[in-house]
Structure 1
Amino acid sequence: MYRSDFEPGTTRWAVRRAQWRAMSITDDDMKKPKIAVINTSSTLSSCFIHVNKVSEAVQNAIRMAGGLPFEVRTVAPSDFVTSAGKKARYLMPTRDLIVNEIECMVEGAVLDGMVCLSSCDKTTPAHIMAAVRLNVPTLVLTCGYQVGGYCSSGQFVDIDDVYEAVGALQAGTISLEDLTDMTEAAIQTPGVCAGLGTANSMHIVAEALGISLAGNSPVKAESRKLYDYARKVGERIVELINQNICPRDIVTEKAIENAIMVVQAVGGSVNTVRHLSAIATEAELDIDVVKMYENLASKIPLLTAVRPNGPYRTEDLEAAGGTRAVMKRLEDKLNKEILTVNGTTVAENIDDAKINDDRVIKTVKDPQSKRPGVAIFRGNIAPDGCIVKLSAVPQGIDRFEGPANIFDGEDEAIEAIGKGEIKKGDVIILRNMGPIGGPGTVFACSFVAAMNGAGLAPYVAVVTDGELSGLNRGIVVGQMMPEAAAGGPLAIVKQGETITIDMEARTIHAHIANAEIDERLSRWTPPAKPHLKAGTYLAQYCELVQPIAQGAVLGKRDFRKK
């Protein structure tokens, strides 16, 4: 008896049976477990254009395994397409929109389980958040990465190169024709951005958490391996339902610890911090994810050097053994006894994992770097913490100090590169761009990429509460907590005041007396948001979004211990 089986003769049974008989669903099929296949498909972006075929493969496998699949479509945000409007303010809110859409469709229809087809940045965390919120048997299938190609000049490029080349154009080192040529070649297949951006990082997180099948990440989009996993997922979700193994049996505090350790080892995206915080909040886990990153940073060195952290590409990481191989390297540190969606423990999943290339995935004793991939910094302008992707900071830079050069938007900052208004030694501050300040986190990542393209990244630091990309590299401090628009001290820093960033001590400090900070904050008022129109989704988001340390989820949660 499944929860979706309604009593014959009731209104719910009768009207649903009429609907489904019109769709040629038989009475025998109606007795099977009813499974949502969450399809974030869209023809707006190359990230999603292959997902329909993956959905069909999963649905076929579910039918063969004795289940009844129903495709459920949701919004499909792409960081490089959906970011065009309102300075990318819609991007972060789409994550929580997907969670709510899934709740409405799966709970509204009282389905027995779901398979979530995850692709671009916001979809994987949204799917895991929905899984732990609803707590019905769930599998996440990550749908793969794209690959780049060769320009007419013979140069290999991917989307990361295009991203950074805008800065080179601003600096006058390449022409518009050069940039156009790069856009012709940069994306040759469907799938998410090459490199350890947020999408690939969250695909790895899903496997490290145990909510996707072992060996699923990273995987090349449209590959035979991806479709093999689509078949396995379709079979396994029916078993999960029959075994009543639910997401909260899997996504536990120890599982989140494992995911953080893997992020540290691969040098994953800074955005994994907010997304894992949101997953923990939705799972009602009484834990401080930011503090967990902070505590684990000293224990896990960087084992891989995949772009933007080094010369290797995502396909090199897959060929070297992928997430299973990284977890095998961390075997002595992981929580190995915990359950995964395979129905086996972490220890069993990685028992026979092979490391196929010691150069790509190094050992804990002989790492790529003794620094962790991602570190939490604190200081008088980030009392609740901020995030630095240490693996992407240029080698040899242990400390950076310079005057604040303040902008309230990345467009103005990118324009300042071309005008020569950004000098070596500057600390660029991009503020009032967080979830509350946007509302919806405003892009700062395009400016960081432009800095690299202009050749300024080793000489200029960026400090922001705006949206960063996992592809960003350089001296970049993100997710300032509290954000400026929530009354964080970043709001009261003045033009020209000195900022010190210490990579070894993991601190960020403005040369302002604490009493002066307090005095300025007492006079501070939140910035106006003239662009907000009452009744729009962004206005609703602004009213509901919670602090970023809790993952910027919507609505206050009271489960945490007081």
Structure 2
Amino acid sequence: MLDDDKDARKSNDKKALRSARWFRKDDLPGFIHRSTLATAGWSRQDLMERPVVGILNTWSDINPCNMNLRVLAEDVRTGIIEAGGIPFETPLMSLSENIIKPTSFPFRNLLAMEVEECVRAYPFDAVVLLGGCDQTQPALIMGAVSAGVPFIFLASGPATPRSATGGNLANATGVWRMVDKLRAGEFAEGEFADFERNVMGTVGHCAEMGTASSMAVISEALGISLPGSSLVPAVDRRRNQIAREVGRRSVILANAAEAGRTLLDGRAFDNAITLLCAVGGSTNAIIHLLALAGRAGVDLSLERFDEIGRRVPLIANVQPAGEHLTERLMAAGGVPALLKRLAPLLHLDARSVSGQTIGDVVSAAEILDEDVIRPLDKPVRIGETLAVVRGNLAPDGAVMKVCAAEARLLNHRGRAVVFEDVQTIADRIDDPALGIDENSILILRNAGPVGAAMPEWGMLPLPRHLLAQGIRDMLRISDARMSGTAYGAAILHVSPEAAVGGPLALVRDGDMIEFNLAERRLDLLVDSDELERRRAQWQAPQPRHNRGYRSLYSRHIEQAHRGCDFDFLRGAEKDSLPDGLFDGWVGGW
């Protein structure tokens, strides 16, 4: 993976290191900085001669996706020392997707802020980003891009689910299918309890193309991870070898002193979107890529996702859109093999953190399983995987994971059944008085970034009576997100959201809605005069949070079509050194 022609121990004098401003001066601040770290075992000579690499670790006991990062950090540390660098591990907030409330999503921006300020405040010449769970990965990358230092990303790796009834169902996608069966009365509660015991087999993130796996493979396409690193399972010792390699590479990056964001140009984002479509990845990745592009100064819009999505087939036969788990995709050649198959659609001159171009990665790759990595003309499914739609119900756009939906719902007209929040759904979805049939369109609103911090509520449950009839999909529309492991005809991220007065706030029970995928159209079939009357009656909801981070979040969060970043965090710092650090007295003592 590494370019062996490059020497990790080359002279540090070619480019000035950030850490030199802390350690390489014979003055009082230099004395304080060096003597402070003597207790960590580093000598004056070490600190004055070696590059410093930060290991930013999101390990936590309460986050099984990231639980192996404690061990991987030690291997990264070893690699850094082997290459002549000085490693300092720094703990960061860990976002446990299934545990943290009300949802992990608002804390993506908090972690990104923590990363940026941690990097700017400490004498790191480069950083290694260790993350696994859904929001952790984009948060780390966003913060590092804004901080303006060299960085390399290493994911925790996919879990290895146990086998269970139904074969490969012992994973997150299997959970959604089992829940539907349980609600339909097709699955005994005792059997469900057995499934619960089996579903979490090992540490590591989702083993299908949920958000975590999607972001991990995308990192290779962006060029910020070592080629072939993303899909090695968390419990596979090859991941420890990769971690050591990442440590060595980080020292090369530190010596080169090139900001990691220079890799993230328009070519890199095009390649990432192409890969996202080819694997049938999570719609959450759209939001994360939009936010990351905003940090990197790249002009990226929803239109670009749709343009690329129209020409990229679904070629990775991986759940939830396909049959297999990510370990099979790794065995088939992994991301390098996928990129080889996609080569006609890629910018092969885009660069990788490995020192190679994507073209170099492709030329060395081999496709080992034609069923798992399909030819471009023999996709897993015909048609687009992701699509962006607009209309009077979503003026700024909405997204759909087309490959997860039943084809009959891609051109659909139906009667709206409106739910104001997720608790109302839980209480009333099975109420016969609602008159829900298979042609109804379920609407959830007030679940967007301002309304509810945008949880993964977009895969609204179906009524029991329809499940009992064998119906497994309905058209659902919301300003929420959807789990990358879920499936179904869900139109998501409706922008602007209902809580800020978007048209979704004006829908009433019984309104007719028309969706046409081919025309990329989503319309509320109510005349404009009536909509104006409703708008005049609409009242904005009262703020739910009046203190702390959640108050800041509600006041500064951008809408989904802009990536849900904070309005004051777009772009990046020009200077990676903290303001006024070396002007006068620095201290502690």
- Under a length normalisation based on structure 2, what TM-score does the superposition of the two structures give? 0.89
1:280 offset after TM fit, Å? 0.6
**Which of 186, 200, 221 is residue 187 of structure 1 equivalent to?**
200
Aligned to 1:385: 397
Change (3 A) 1:449 1:353: farther
CA contact (8 A) 2:126 2:149 kept: yes
Corresponding residue for 1:133? 146
Question: Shift of residue 265 of structure 1?
Answer: 1.0
* Change beyond 3 A, Cα 1:384–1:446: closer
Per the alignment, residue 489 of structure 2 pairs with 475
Tell me the secondary structure at the aligned position of residue 75 of structure 2. Answer: helix
What residue is the counterpart of 1:516 in the other structure? 530
CA shift for structure 1 position 133:
0.7
Deviation at 1:12, TM superposition (A): 3.1
Q: Note closer, same or farther for the CA distance 1:411–1:450 as it changes in structure 2 (3 Å cut).
A: farther
Structure 1 residue 12 corresponds to structure 2 residue 45: no
1:203 to 210, 216, 224: 216
Change beyond 3 A, Cα 1:338–1:455: farther
C-alpha spacing 1:414/1:357, structure 2 compared with 1 (3 Å): farther
Q: Secondary structure at the match of 1:259?
A: helix
- Residues 398-547 of structure 1 aligned to structure 2 (within 5 Å): 398-420=410-432, 421=434, 422-438=436-452, 440-445=453-458, 447-448=460-461, 458-529=472-543, 531-532=544-545, 534-547=546-559
- Show the counterpart of 1:142: 155
Amino acid at match of 1:504: A
Q: Which amino acid aligns with 1:29?
A: D
Q: Is the 8 A contact 1:380 1:514 kept in 2?
A: no
- Once the two structures are superposed, the pairs formed by residues 310-389 of structure 1 within 5 Å of their partners are 310-389=322-401
Q: CA offsets, 1:310-364, max 9 Å, x none?
A: 2222112111112111111111110111211011111001112111111111122
- Partner SS state of residue 36, structure 1: strand
Contact 1:457 1:475 in 2 (8 A): no
Matches within 5 A, 1:87-102: 88=103, 91-102=104-115
Determine if contact 1:305/1:360 at 8 Å carries over to the other structure: yes
Matched, 1:103 2:116: yes
Percent identical across equivalent pairs? 30
Equivalent residues of 2:458, 2:478 under 8 A apart: no
CA pair 558-476 structure 1, distance change in 2 beyond 3 A: closer
Q: Distance in 1 between matches of 2:296 and 2:317?
A: 32
Q: Could you report, residue by residue, the CA deviation over 1:373-422 in whole angstroms, capped at 9, with x for unpaired residues?
A: 21111111011111110111124543122111111223432443444554
Which residues of 2 match residues 149-188 of structure 1 at below 5 A? 149-151=162-164, 156-188=169-201
Task: Go from structure 1 to structure 2 and tell me whether the alpha carbon gap of 1:559 and 1:279 turns closer, same or farther (over 3 Å shift).
Answer: closer
1:222-237 alignment, distance < 5 Å: 222-237=235-250
- In structure 1, the residue matched to 2:13 is none
Check conservation: 1:36, 1:111, Cα contact below 8 A.
yes
Change (3 A) 1:209 1:140: same
Aligned residues: 551
Specify the SS of the correspondent of 1:406: strand
Bigger shift: residues 229-238 or 167-176: 167-176
Say whether residues 1:2 and 2:17 are aligned partners: yes
> CA–CA distance in 2 between the matches of 1:308 and 1:155?
11
1:33 counterpart residue number: 51
Residues 468 and 371 (structure 1), Cα distance of their counterparts in 2 relative to 1, 3 Å cut:
same
CA contact (8 A) 2:458 2:476 kept: no
> Which whole-Å CA distance do the structure 1 matches of 2:471 and 2:73 have between them?
41
Matching residue of 1:306: 318
- Look up the equivalent residue of 2:64 and give its one-letter code: S
Aligned to 1:77: 95
Q: Secondary structure at the match of 2:397?
A: strand
Tell me, yes or no, if structure 1 residue 48 matches structure 2 residue 61. Answer: no
Deviations 1:178-233 (A, max 9, x none): 22111100111110112111110000111110011111122211212211211111
Cα contact 2:159–2:235 (8 A) shared by 1: no
Q: Distance in 2 between matches of 1:126 and 1:456?
A: 40
Give how far 1:175 is off.
3.2
SS at match of 2:70: helix
What does residue range 236-315 of structure 1 map to in structure 2 within 5 Å?
236-285=249-298, 287-315=299-327
Counterpart code for 2:129:
C
Amino acid at match of 1:240: L
Counterpart residue identity of residue 361, structure 1: I
Is the 8 Å Cα contact of residues 276 and 289 (structure 1) preserved in structure 2?
no
Deviates more, 1:373-382 or 1:26-35: 26-35
**Residue 201 of structure 1 contacts residue 263 of structure 1 at CA under 8 Å; is this kept in 2?**
yes
* 3-state SS of paired residue (2:450): coil
- How far does the alpha carbon of each residue in 1:160-181 deviate from its partner, in whole angstroms, 9 at most, with x for none? 2224433433333323322211
8 Å CA contact 2:226, 2:353 repeated in 1 = yes
Deviation at residue 235 of structure 1 after TM alignment: 0.8
Distance (Å, rounded) in 1 between the aligned partners of 2:499 and 2:471: 27
Q: Which amino acid aligns with 1:8?
A: K
C-alpha deviation, 1:556, in angstroms: 3.7
CA–CA separation in structure 2 for the residues paired with 1:369 and 1:192: 26
| Partner amino acid, structure 1, of 2:243 | A
CA distance in 1, matches of 2:462, 2:206: 14
Equivalent residues of 1:132, 1:283 under 8 A apart? yes
The 8 Å contact of residues 295 and 570 in structure 2, kept in 1 or not, is answered as no
Kindly state the Cα deviation for residue 95 of structure 1 after the two structures are TM-superposed: 0.8
Distance 2:147 2:219 in 1: 17
CA shift, 1:449, in A, is 9.0
Q: 1:455 to 1:54 in 2, by over 3 A?
A: farther
After superposition, what is the alpha-carbon deviation per residue over 1:86-124, rounded to whole angstroms, capped at 9, x for unaligned? 4x2xx1111111111112211111311100012010111
Which one of 110, 121, 125 corresponds to residue 134 of structure 2? 121
Which 10-residue stretch deviates more, 47-56 or 164-173?
164-173
Counterpart of 2:38 in structure 1: which amino acid?
R
Gaps of at least 5 residues in structure 2 are 1-15, 573-589
Deviation at 1:304, TM superposition (A): 1.9
Answer whether contact 2:496 2:502 (CA < 8 A) is retained: yes
Separation in structure 2 between the aligned mates of residue 97 and residue 517 of structure 1, nearest angstrom: 37
